[in-house]
Structure 1
Amino acid sequence: MKRREFLGSAAAAAATLLPFPGLMPVVHAQEKGKLTFLTPSSFSLAFSPILYASAAGIFAKEGVDLKVEAGRGAAQVVQLTAAKQVQTGRTGGGNYMMARVNNQAPVIAFATIAQRSPFAVISSKDAPILKPQDLAGKTVGVQSAGGSMEATLDLMLLRSKVDAKSVRRERVADSAASFGMIESKRVHAFLGNTSAAIRLTAANYPVETMRMDDGVPGQVYVAEDSVLAANKDAFVAFLRAAYRSAQELIAMDDAALAKAVALMRGKFDIPGSDNTPIALADMRANRELWMTADPKHVLRNVESQWAEGESLLRQAGLLKQPTTKPLYTNEIWEAANG
């Protein structure tokens, strides 16, 4: 099935899932060891633990037949995983927690790949935003109202005791063109991911970058509850391969890393990956996100971080229901790497 057909049919099946949690599509039994992984956006080096493991044959060596699909947003990953249209995927920690608690989504986080938010506040060197308090009274560009970036902004402001109402929001595109809005004084800064900040710097834009830390697990891998339980061995093998992939990438010097990027580019369409200096800077920045907690515990769910994240989401009024289901499990990680 072509990617467009896959996403179209899957999205249609999932569209009514969260408003009607009792309605589940009929799906065929999953073939042993065969998984589909959904990214939250078009392919990028942020997803390299999965892309490299696929291109280098690490999944195959673990007996996992993995198909990787590019999705259209973090919320879609939760929806299609819950609808059993894909077996697993990557999504934002805050988005996932809200779906799990508020909508009783039958998905659970079994790994955390980015321990901290992958987003950044991008401003001008002439008027830099260096700390959350600098945002008070400012106008910030965001890609979409109510999206994961804006949720990260609100949580960071709450954590830093900055009145979120004092920070005005404007819609911007996720591209270098957004810097023009800073130059024209329409916004003081805009939100982008790590890769966007690196591309701007490489293109010699006079940017200042402030990493965002909202206290919530940044990016997680999720699976539907019953699918995870029924296919534990496949998920253990999947996570073992992803862990090995991440550790290999972490250990690489620039020469080896450039070869790894070329290998991924040979199998996946990764915009910008053919510019080696930018690709290497992108890889280095993403590796930092994997290792924020403990390099040996890459992909593990950190209990203290999840507790803080849940507390902050409740303070912000984003978790509106009691937490009746576990938000995460380390059972798969322990079986794969313990």
Structure 2
Amino acid sequence: MNQTYKETGKGLSGYAVKKIIPQLKKEYEWLTSTYSQCLQQVCLNLGVAFNNFFSARRCANEKRAKYPRFKSKHSKQSIQYPQNVKVVDSCLTLPKIGDVTAIIHRPIEGKVKTVTISKNCSNQYFAAILFDDCKDKPSSNPEGKAIGIDLGLTHFAVTSDGSKFDNPRILNKYEKNLKLKQQQLSRKQKGSNNRIKARNKVGFVHRKITNYRGDFLHKLSRRIVNENQVIVVENLNVKGMMQNHKLAKSIHQVGWGMFCTMLKYKAEMEGKIYQEVDRFFPSSKTCHVCLNQVGSLPLDIRFWTCDNCQTRHDRDINASINLRDEGLRILTSGTGDNKACCPDVSRSKGGRKKSTAALSVGQEAYTVPSGQCR
């Protein structure tokens, strides 16, 4: 595709590259050892990657994707099987490979569509199975218990019913071990077997951090979805908050975006409602009793008293209650307007689109497969 663009000034689509595969197989015999549909899927994925890059260049405000690059064999790798994969009790049957032993951790009830095999940096292999269960999406109903969630750093989440969930600070627990393993890796000679072993040890520590974080987020999101019908969080520019070098590390390790993504797809699967409130809504500075708004409220002030009704507020609990009330207002208005009521706050014209998939979450403080096997 690069060569064609240099010669003609025009690129090739993924479908055009797909038609060249038979000719390439004659030139490179090793291509014949791979299942043909996997090669076709790679071409289509490459076409999508280029489309994302050029659409990002046309839209200056939307930095959607960078120029596609060649993948390293040392990083995460994956391969897709569009069809002809069979799942049995304790193995997967893959074309041109055969039976592969696997731990099937949940039943596959439906027709298997696409299977994606991936390898992480610790040389572990996973299969994400997309299947059609032929079930209709449950209809959502706002009747039931509603909860607002204020995400933070001291407490990971504070709910409108007064519950506070501590921040596990996962990276801090493994930071010393990770630093030691990375120092050992830096001393190894490049290209040596010892460097490969040291790199696997670093990957093992990263995997433990990822598993720890995922376990915490899955359990908390499942608990919240099971206990509530309407879940309201705040849509924040997390990427912008990462520009603060004093809080960037803490925000990076806490996983707000992943948590909100889990809340959203789990709520949709259960027929419950996930609602986001605009990031400019002054949830912390507004008294939930009399709706009086203070002019300034620095982050170091965790408790404050309303000048109008003399109610003493816990900053985070007050914010979560205001988020819950604003989310219910948006749902009951019937207009579909997800903007918060705060006319005194100026908004920039070039803001990014609201999207939970882009890891936009509440203020202050991966496509989910239907089944997976390991």
TM-score by length of 1: 0.21
Greater gyration radius? 2
With a CA cutoff of 8 Å and minimum separation of 6, indicate the structure with the bigger relative contact order. 1
More helix by share: 1
